Structure 1
Amino acid sequence: MLNINIKKLEIKSNEKKLVDISFDMSTSTALIGESGSGKSLTLKALLNLLPSTLEINKDIDSNFELNYHTIGFIPQNPFTSLSTMTRIKNQFFCSDEKKEEVLNLVSLDKSVLKKFPSQLSGGQIQRVVIAIALSRDVKLLLLDEPTTALDEENKNNIIDLINEIKDRLNILILFVTHDINSIKTICENIIILKNGEIIEKGLTNDILSALKEDYTKRLINSTFKNKTFRT
């Protein structure tokens, strides 16, 4: 079983705490909260992408090493993730055999390797981005609103694909999203963030069936229905 125990993740700016959380992840988990609650900071801290001006205190225990080779990242906007002037085949950093293997995993034909991003649909581009992330020995996949830029049909297809990949490859997923249906499909657990702190966490079905905190009620009933907040 894959497991990550974030014993402490503290991020400070000028002595002000931006994030102060701890949680255990042994199954796919959704990370939700209002804008500014610390979701993106948490992902960037795991990716080591935060600026040196921030004070970061991490205490993480995992049964696999967290590094470039074991963490994959699927960003919010796939259209800005690829070089528009570069053929798809040159945007991978792996063997040709591996390229074809991961493209097959995301249901794309190897013919896309010869194309430029402008020759692909939005759904195809997102699949390419996912394939690139999976071209390494990924154990943890970080998702930052990966379907925001897609239409409803492509969004549902990508969510189903991610869920299938999760089970097939036995990888952990930490999923930042405002789409409640995506959470129900992919994530067994939910973490609710407010002002950089966890105010609720637990099984997805338990949290959604018995909302306790007023903040969580507002987040679920307003944010997820009207999508008024953004990461």
Structure 2
Amino acid sequence: MIDIKELKISSNSKKLVDISFTIKSSTALIGESGSGKSLTLKAILNLLSSSLDLKKEINSNFELNFNTIGFIPQNPFTSLSSMTKIKNQIFCSDEKKEEVFNLLDLPLEILEKYPSQISGGQTQRVVIAIALSRDIKLLLLDEPTTALDLENKTNIINIVKNLKDKLNIKILFVTHDIESIKDICDDIVIIKDGHIVEFGKTQEVLNKPQHEYTKKLFNSSFKNKQFRK
């Protein structure tokens, strides 16, 4: 369990984020653009701009650092060097590369290719492979389906769900796409203007949202509400 007891981000005394929540197993952080989702991720990763003031208290049974946190960014296409073969962008043993490629159903031949020689879906999976190339304890996902078409989006959702079932890792899934987390995240946190307005079990919140902002967010996001079941 990762207990974020206090996370406060401010700029010139203006509060941008002031939240507390717990990642028990898999948690979704949902909100509109500008709600504070990305700032929260950057704070956990210690990647905030030095111009911002940060105060945080995070308790977990492992140290949060480069070796224990895997990160999947919003745009996989800008995450890889176009001039470098895939194999030289994954810093682990050949055995580990083979292990994560098999886990992600990636052919080993891709290791000898350049990013421009593989498909968009394969690019996203390579980025996930890089995140899994260390023995991580926490996987952070920042809008991982935004840059993908429907088919590849579905594939990535299935991959993350499979990783959750197979690996003993915590997941924090940050997105505004509520549909993408319905079968992945056990808990959901709704954030607005840097504050949590609602949280609980994912299916309970999906079926019976309490806060007006949550209802508005769901109504604007759900094209097919059948999946709330």
TM-score range, shorter chain: over 0.9
The question of 1:80 aligning with 2:52 is answered: no
5 Å-filtered alignment, 1:113-124, equals 113-124=111-122
Q: Percent identity?
A: 70
Amino acid at match of 1:100: E
**Offset from partner CA, 1:165-205 (integer Å, 9 cap, x none):** 11211111111123232211111111000110101000001
Q: Is the 8 A contact 2:32 2:176 kept in 1?
A: no
Q: Is the 8 A contact 2:33 2:176 kept in 1?
A: no
Q: Which residue of 1 aligns with 2:39?
A: 41
The question of 1:14 aligning with 2:12 is answered: yes
Give the stretch that moved more between structures: 172-181 or 85-94.
Answer: 172-181
Q: Output the CA distance in 1 between the equivalents of 2:110 and 2:32.
A: 37
Structure 1: gaps spanning 5 or more residues: 227-231
Q: Is the 8 A contact 1:10 1:58 kept in 2?
A: yes
Q: Which residue of 2 aligns with 1:175?
A: 173
Q: Which residue of 1 aligns with 2:127?
A: 129
**Offset from partner CA, 1:16-70 (integer Å, 9 cap, x none):** 1100001111120110112111000000000110011111001010011100011
Q: Output the CA distance in 1 between the equivalents of 2:141 and 2:203.
A: 20
SS of 1:42's partner is: helix
How far is the alpha carbon of 1:153 from its aligned partner? 1.1
Q: Output the CA distance in 1 between the equivalents of 2:46 and 2:208.
A: 35
Q: Output the CA distance in 2 between the equivalents of 1:186 and 1:62.
A: 22
TM-score normalised by L of structure 1:
0.94
SS of 2:179's partner is: helix
SS of 1:53's partner is: coil
Q: Is the 8 A contact 1:30 1:191 kept in 2?
A: yes
Equivalent pairs, count: 224
Runs of 4+ deviating beyond 3 Å: 223-226
Q: Is the 8 A contact 1:178 1:224 kept in 2?
A: no
Q: Output the CA distance in 2 between the equivalents of 1:51 and 1:19.
A: 14
Q: Output the CA distance in 2 between the equivalents of 1:180 and 1:47.
A: 23
Q: Which residue of 2 aligns with 1:188?
A: 186
Q: Output the CA distance in 2 between the equivalents of 1:19 and 1:181.
A: 25
Q: Output the CA distance in 1 between the equivalents of 2:142 and 2:2.
A: 19
Q: Output the CA distance in 2 between the equivalents of 1:93 and 1:52.
A: 28
Q: Which residue of 2 aligns with 1:164?
A: 162
Amino acid at match of 2:16: L
How far is the alpha carbon of 1:224 from its aligned partner? 4.5
Q: Is the 8 A contact 2:179 2:222 kept in 1?
A: no
Q: Which residue of 2 aligns with 1:28?
A: 26
**Offset from partner CA, 1:105-141 (integer Å, 9 cap, x none):** 1111111000000000000000000000000111111
Q: Output the CA distance in 2 between the equivalents of 1:52 and 1:181.
A: 34
